[in-house]
A and B are shown apart, each in its own frame.
Chain A
Amino acid sequence: MARVSIILGIVFFASYLYAGPYSVPAGTKCDECGMTVDQNSKFISVVTGKEERKLFFCDIGDMLYHFRSTGDEIRSVSVRDYVTSEWIDDRNAFYVMNKAFITPIGWGVAAFSKESDAKQWGSPVAFQNAFSLIKK
């Protein structure tokens, strides 16, 4: 019985560690501001950094600020489409800043999978240029 418990424990721990980029464990804190990341928010982002470390952000603006200030390596970024809430890859996302977006930390940045949707809210930019959207 003890062996089974240990094996199950290892399996659960391993699955937690290697969970996909789209699963945000409950109670996860934002790596920039320390706020608990709302799993259902349209503004959260998951970043795979150096050594495959996963970073979670409650607000896309926090993620952009974090990597602009630290200059850390980014391997992949997953954000949610503002319209559908589907997870999208940073390479396919269009970022827009608009004060109408009520984001957790007030950065007002949202991601869209379709450029036409993004244009309805402002001037969309690609991920590489999204860092210029945020001001300290």
Chain B
Amino acid sequence: MLRVLSLSKRFGAVRAVDDATFEVRDGEYLCILGSTGSGKTTLLRLIAGILRPDEGETYIDETLMNETPPEDRNVVYVPQTYALFPHMTVLENVMFGPVARRVPQKKAKEKAMSVLQLVRLDHRTDALPSELSGGMQQRVALARGLASGAKLLLLDEPLGALDARLRIELRGDLKRIAKDSGLTVIHVTHDQEEAMSIADRILILRKGRVQQHGTPFHVYRRPENLFVANFVGRTNFLEGIVDSRDREKTTVRLRQNMYIDVADTSHEREEYIIVAVREESTHLTRDDPGEGMNALDGEIIQLHFLGYSTRFEVKLKNGDRVSSLVSTDDPIGRVKMGDRVRVSFNPRNTLVYDYPTLGLRHELEVY
């Protein structure tokens, strides 16, 4: 469907998109995930043809598009701030594109009605945009995009203007509409939870460079670098030195001679490494956590109720901090500030990275 080869775009000294190469399959829902300034909107605009790349190529259905203007690419781009025509009704807004392309009135109306049904606004066809809530306006913008008949939909933060609660509700709708209509979608977002719940595959950008491209499962379970491990999900990072290793595990020495085991065996003795453990994979316990599990003693210094679970922050004896996510109905969740606990985790649920040359903090920086 879409193939992007070594695409680059600079604005002055800033490399907004830097050598991006990836493919989007027919019917796939891709989320481009990155923080403000990561280049995700620029990348979307390059694909739409609104911006011209400095280098690289864009293929849509195996045809090179570099010289093709946006209107001839058979794509529809829905920008973050959707400009509906304020003096036109919902129906007129949605029919505008097809009518402008000289689709007969009757056919344009049929098409508009069918997409309004998809976005569940067929009961508000005569309303003016100002009479609609933000969520409804967003859906009109989406319907307008769908009515164009293009097979590739480019959505820039399509849920960004909405309340958090409504956003969760509309995620499911968006995916359903895309799948029901057989569309290929590229959806830009800074919300990793949104990307995880909606995407077939996720492409993670940082400072214009692709960090990882894969299914939500792959990106979450096998983050290729520290940035991805931090940006997607909530992760603890422990600094250590490889103490010893055998065929099944490596023993790592943390600060002040605390030891843990990790399943990774790819690092040599005395190497500086970072061990990453997900918050939900670290357990709190008062007892012996069992054979083969890591156990680190510490004290609860903060707790945050999140509803579905509670996040406990534990200060370990060596000064390192570890966060642990505990289900709300788990009895261990009754521990309080200042209580002594053990943090345990399975060596299999750890990931190991080389110690970054510029330091851990630099590597994790979101911007």
Partners in one complex: no
Q: Which residues of A line the B interface, CB within 8 A?
A: none
